[in-house]
Amino acid sequence: MEAMGGHVMVPLESLSLELPNGEIVVGYDKEIAALKEEISALRSKQRHLDRRRREALDKLIDLKGSIRVFCRVRPLIQTSNLKTKSPVTVGQEKIAVQSVGIKKEFILDRVFDQESTQEDVFLEVKPILKSALDGHNVCILAYGQTGTGKTYTMEGTDGKLGIVPRAIQELFSHASADSSSTYSFSISMLEVYLGSLRDLLAPRQTLFRHTECSTASNISILATKSGSVEVEGLTDVSVPDLKKANQWYCRGRRARSTSWTNVNDVSSRLTRITIRKHGVTEEVSKLWLIDLGGSERLLKTGASGLTMDEGKAINLSLSALGDVIAALRRKRSHVPYRNSKLTQILSDSLGDGSKVLMVVHISPSEEDVSETVCSLSFAERARSIKSNKDVSEDLKMMKQKRLAELDKEICNTEQELKYVNEQIKKDEISLEEKKQLYSSVCQAVSDEKGSPRSTLVTGHIDATESPQATEKPKSRLSNGSVPHFMSSTACSRQRHNAGSHSVSKPRLTKSVTRHPIELSGSQSFSYSSCKNAAKARSVAFSSSVPKLKYLPVKSDQINISSNSIDSTAASAPKRRESFVSRPAQRAPLHQHRRRMSSLT
């Protein structure tokens, strides 16, 4: 505090605030600095945990195989009263087909029986979605004979949502829970029919089935030098929230079902979600969700004409996909992506660093048994991991143990991350509240009418009777009902008890800390005006927000007016921010002394 023309100058950082309940708020800057420090430490922990989680997930997926194949058996649809035994027997990772002249067993990564629910399937899909959020390109494909449930698995029905709507939901919920990064998503949908591509989200849909199909698409596939693929001309809609994403997804579904009538079984439908993760660097990844055309063989259907062409096209597309997967599995240097439109589009999402999940669908009916065997043979070939039957028991056990360890590590890290994320959110809210409170005080200063150099009346101090109290307040501990930083001082409690008349007078309190109020160096506080401003402002504040009340004076910084020099004056730091008292509002010295002593 300095003396200026008979006015007492109080360092701005000495400011304290009084809450409506009489509590005194002190040490704001320390609180804010501590919070900032804590948030920064939590963020660094968050990055560390996220790295650990990613590494564990990568290892887990690699160990499980970057091309995983599941099988789902559709429930039996009874076409006649004749009850026949299903040729299919299902285990957890095993499926046996037994019929006249057929006895085969297939090993896959996971088999879902007829009773499996959409939730069961999605639970197994979830880890791969995390991989997509971590920056890997991911492909989830539904393969199988017509009518075996591909669309049911991918899209689902109203009450039983399939993988696509659940995945969209999961992406948004993950993005909102992850405070370490921000994500943005966009969606595209297209259909591949007879080797042509159709944009399902284009503003106007072109209906074509026969001659138009070769000319209707203006989509072209471009491979960039870096190996990524651009589908030029394909509509890509940015979706800021789940609602918008669902709206566009439904629109794409409608476009598909209303335009190319009756081609659903011979066309492949692709939904692409582009994930942008904004952090220090931007990571872009693609999540492809694909409902492939029916895989039945042409000979069986006895097709001719257009149906024959459609069958050939889908067969070409599926066999090209099979060839690509086989080449990838065998780690061949040449992967034949160019053999079909489908594999060209997916070329950067099936290869190195990508994760592929294929859900092969089969019918439990006796009449479909040969198609079932074909589909399962395709499935087994596609797996990147050798069948367990070729692996020794010891190795199997070791693998299971390692998988369980990684699973546990991911689970624990996610728990820790969840806790850290919540803590960051809480701290950020708390920090924001404190900053707002401070900015309100600053606003009170700038509201000072007329003068940019606002003044704060602190009371007159006689040269001979400078305050002696220099000790810190004994306790600022919370009484439990308010945060600890808002605990009352002895002074506030005394004043609160003393009645309202004393409240109206300017007071001196000890300041404990500096307050980093963002004022220009020339600004200072006027007690009276601030009090009024703060009172007025308290309408806008929540009821718990304090009004400016106190005139904190750091006693060891108290300086005396020009003609009476305090002994501490020489050592007192001179600050540009100061509060100047007005003689008319000076408090008698004895009042001041009493108050100062009450602080001890």
Ligand X SMILES: Nc1ncnc2c1ncn2[C@@H]1O[C@H](COP(=O)(O)OP(=O)(O)OP(=O)(O)O)[C@@H](O)[C@H]1O
Question: Of the candidates 452, 573, 428, 461, which has an alpha carbon nearest to the alpha carbon of residue 514?
Answer: 573
Kindly tell me the burial class for residue 65, based on how many C-beta atoms sit within 10 Å of its own C-beta (0-12, 13-18, 19 or more): middle
Beta strand 282-291 pairing with 268-278: antiparallel
Please report whether residue 147 would count as binding ligand X according to CB under 6 A.
yes
CA atoms within 13 A on the CB side of 520: 6
Q: Is 412 exposed, middle or buried (0-12, 13-18, 19+ CB in 10 A)?
A: middle
Q: What are 419's two structure tokens?
A: 């806790």
Q: Which of 11, 27, 87, 149 binds ligand X (CB under 6 A)?
A: 149
In residues, how long is the chain? 600
What is the side-by-side strand order in the sheet with 17-18?
A: 24-25, 17-18, 547-548
- Decide if residue 294 touches ligand X (CB under 6 A): yes
Q: How many helices (H) and strands (E) does the chain have?
A: 15, 19
150 forms part of the interface with ligand X (CB under 6 A):
yes
d(CA 477, CA 488): 8
Choose the binding region for ligand X from 103-111, 146-154, 165-173, 347-355 (rule: CB under 6 A).
146-154
In angstroms, give the least distance from the CB of 255 to ligand X.
16
Q: Reduced to 3 states, what is the DSSP secondary structure of residue 591?
A: helix
Q: Is 353 annotated as a binding residue?
A: no
Closest CA to 330 of 265, 373, 376, 384: 384
Q: Give the nearer residue to ligand X in terms of CB position, either 23 or 291.
A: 291
Please tell me whether residue 364 binds ligand X under the rule CB under 6 A: no
Q: Binding ligand X by CB under 6 A: which of 137, 146, 235, 317?
A: 146
Q: Are 190 and 267 in contact (CB under 8 A)?
A: no
Contacting ligand X (CB under 6 A), which of 14, 16, 264, 524? 264
Direct distance between the N- and C-terminal alpha carbons of the chain, in angstroms, rounded to an integer? 19
Minimum CB distance to ligand X smaller for 71 or for 273: 71
Q: Which residue is nearest to ligand X (CB)?
A: 149
Consult the annotation and say whether 149 binds a ligand.
yes
**Is 329 exposed, middle or buried, given 0-12, 13-18 or 19+ CB atoms closer than 10 A?**
middle
Segment contacting ligand X (CB under 6 A): 143-151, 190-198, 212-220, 316-324?
Answer: 143-151
Residue 148 assigned ligand-binding role: yes
Which of 28, 106, 122, 152 touches ligand X (CB under 6 A)? 152
Minimum CB distance to ligand X, residue 265 (Å) = 4
State the nearest-atom distance from the C-beta of 294 to ligand X, in Å. 4
| Binds ligand X (CB under 6 A): choice among 58, 124, 178, 265 | 265
The residues facing 140 across adjacent strands are 289, 357
Q: Quick one: 39 or 142, whose CB is closer to ligand X?
A: 142
| Shortest separation between residue 165's beta carbon and ligand X, angstroms | 14
Measure the CA–CA gap between 134 and 174, rounded to whole angstroms.
11
- Contacting residues for 277 by C-beta, under 8 A, at least 6 apart: 133, 135, 181, 182, 183, 283, 284, 285
Shortest reach from residue 115's CB to ligand X, in Å: 9
Contact region with ligand X (CB under 6 A), list: 140-148, 324-332, 449-457, 542-550: 140-148
Instruction: Choose between 145 and 487: whose C-beta lies nearer to ligand X.
Output: 145
**How many residues in the shown chain lie near ligand X by CB under 6 A?**
14
Q: Of residues 20, 75, 240, 279, which one binds ligand X by CB under 6 A?
A: 75
Tell whether residue 436 is among the known ligand binding residues.
no
- H helix intervals, 457-588: 490-498, 500-503, 527-537
| CB of 23 or CB of 296, closer to ligand X | 296
Cβ atoms within 10 Å, residue 172: 19
**What region does 195 belong to: left with phi over 0, alpha with psi -120 to 50, or beta?**
left
Please count the other Cβ atoms lying within 10 Å of the Cβ belonging to residue 62: 12
CB-nearer residue toward ligand X: 108 or 424: 108
Q: Of 50 and 368, which CB lies nearer to ligand X in the complex structure?
A: 368
Gyration radius (Cα) of the chain, Å: 36
Task: Choose the binding region for ligand X from 147-155, 394-402, 443-451, 589-597 (rule: CB under 6 A).
Answer: 147-155
Q: Which of 151, 268, 455, 489 binds ligand X (CB under 6 A)?
A: 151
Comparing CB distances to ligand X, the nearer of 119 and 241 is 119
Task: Kindly state the smallest distance separating residue 336's Cβ from ligand X, in Å.
Answer: 25
Nearer to ligand X, 89 or 116 (CB): 116
Q: Does 148 bind ligand X (CB under 6 A)?
A: yes
Query: Who contacts 520 (Cβ-Cβ below 8 Å, separation ≥6)?
Result: 452
Q: Which of 11, 27, 87, 144 binds ligand X (CB under 6 A)?
A: 144
Contacts of 399 (CB under 8 A, 6+ apart): 63, 391
Judged by beta carbon, residue 153 or residue 454, the one nearer ligand X is: 153
**Token pair belonging to 598:** 């009450």
The binding track of 464-503 with respect to ligand X, each residue x by CB under 6 A or -, is: ----------------------------------------
Rounded to a whole number of angstroms, the minimum distance from the CB of residue 339 to ligand X is 22
CB of 401 to ligand X, least distance (A): 33
Q: Which C-beta is closer to ligand X: that of 163 or that of 385?
A: 163
Q: How far is the CB of 202 from ligand X (least distance, A)?
A: 22
Closer Cβ to ligand X, 223 or 373, answer by number: 373
C-alpha distances in Å from residue 276, one per residue of 178, 183, 239, 249, 284: 14, 5, 12, 18, 5
Alpha helices per DSSP H over 65-149: 118-133
Q: Does residue 257 bind ligand X (CB under 6 A)? A: no
Is 233 one of the annotated binding-site residues?
no
Least Cβ distance, residue 159 to ligand X (angstroms): 11
Please state the residue numbers annotated as binding site for ATP. Answer: 144-151
- What is the binding site for ligand X (CB under 6 A)? 74-75, 144, 146-152, 264-265, 294, 361
